[in-house]
Amino acid sequence: MTAALALAVAAAACFGLALVLTQFGLRHMSAADGALISIPTTALLFWALAPFVLELGAFELTAAAIFAGVGLFFPAAVTLLTYEANQRLGPTVAGALGGTAPLFAALAAMLFLGERPTALTAAATLAVVAGIAVLGWQPARWPVRFLLLPLAAALLRGLAQVAIKAGLALWPSAFAASLVGYSASVLSVAADARLRRGAARGRFDRRGAAWFALVGFGNGAAVLSMYAALARGAVTLVAPMASYPLFALLLGALLLKEQRITPRLAAGTALMVAGIAALILGRAG
């Protein structure tokens, strides 16, 4: 269980870093063009590692189909939605609203996997989500439709964790889940580009491409860590621990000049830390 917790925290850190780095990439390229860089870059990296890491001895066709099905919308659609949310709302608000994924994941895990979280786990999850809500609350500055972007991403991310957990029960390989999922995601972003621009080529910028390649590495490491955590622990444990707004806030404060720590952000952070601490203590007890 300790390994699952550590991997989930690593996933949260990588997701948070990728979200902040996205802000730099968006200064040079659009969200859709950025996805065309980050997702294929990560897929190529996984394929380069496959001969050394992938073990086919436990191959299971049903699991591979689940991984591919998830890959059509995670990380592809989630990446596109997150990039758009980041561009419209900024990393703090996008990360905060996108961090409601643990709530969707927990509800789906109870419905489809039969997981029954303890009272402490449920309270801790609510504390994490409450902290996220405090982090993300601001006076209305955007049309409501923009707020739906990170919420939709959170819903898809939560459902993806549950589906991947089911697939890992058949083929317990986090690397295989990542490799197959990212390969399917390449098809999704390519189809999206085709629908958006036909055969026309999007605007390419070397600086933007470099940033989005780094984003791809961060997201790839996050997905691999999260899947490895799901292979070792319940969704109701991993989902709150893998929530990244705390890291997005801290890293954003360090790397982005326009982001400052305010009393509201401090209060939201305190709630999240309390919830995460309760999860850790509850599992250790």
Distance from CA of residue 148 to its chain's centroid?
16
Contact predicate 135/82, CB 8 Å: no
pLDDT band at 203 (very low <50, low <70, confident <90, very high): low
**What pLDDT is stored for residue 209 in this prediction?**
94
Contact predicate 213/168, CB 8 Å: no
Structure-token pair, residue 158: 């939560």
**What pLDDT is stored for residue 265 in this prediction?**
67
- Which range has the top average pLDDT, 38-47, 195-204, 276-285? 38-47
**What pLDDT is stored for residue 101 in this prediction?**
83
Residue spans of the domains in the chain: they are 2-284
**What pLDDT is stored for residue 123 in this prediction?**
80
Across all residues in the chain, what is the average pLDDT? 84
Model confidence pLDDT, tens digit, residues 111-126: 999 988 777 777 877 8
Q: What does the alpha-carbon distance between residue 199 and residue 59 come to, in Å, rounded to a whole number? A: 37
Determine if residue 233 is left, alpha or beta; phi over 0 gives left, psi from -120 to 50 gives alpha, anything else beta: beta
Contact predicate 215/22, CB 8 Å: yes
**Contacts of residue 67, Cβ cutoff 8 Å, sequence gap at least 6:** 164, 167, 171, 176, 177, 180, 181, 184
Quick one: which of 3, 65, 34, 29 has its CA closest to 227? 3
Three-state DSSP at 1 gives: coil
Q: What does the alpha-carbon distance between residue 191 and residue 222 come to, in Å, rounded to a whole number? A: 24
**Contacts of residue 238, Cβ cutoff 8 Å, sequence gap at least 6:** 4, 7, 8, 161, 226, 229, 230
| Identity at 173, one-letter amino acid code | S
Model confidence pLDDT, tens digit, residues 34-59: 889 999 999 999 999 999 999 888 89
Q: What does the alpha-carbon distance between residue 98 and residue 182 come to, in Å, rounded to a whole number? A: 20
Q: What does the alpha-carbon distance between residue 255 and residue 225 come to, in Å, rounded to a whole number? A: 23
CA atoms within 13 A on the CB side of 139: 0
Distance from CA of residue 48 to its chain's centroid?
23
Q: pLDDT higher for 65 or 138?
A: 65
The number of beta carbons lying within 10 Å of the beta carbon of residue 199 is: 6
Burial of 180 (0-12, 13-18, 19+ CB in 10 A): buried
| Identity at 284, one-letter amino acid code | A
pLDDT band at 200 (very low <50, low <70, confident <90, very high): very low
Structure-token pair, residue 150: 């990170």
Three-state DSSP at 262 gives: coil
**What pLDDT is stored for residue 212 in this prediction?**
95
The vertex-45 CA angle with 151 and 227, nearest 5°, equals 45
Q: What is the pTM of this model?
A: 0.84
Structure-token pair, residue 152: 């939709």
pLDDT band at 282 (very low <50, low <70, confident <90, very high): low
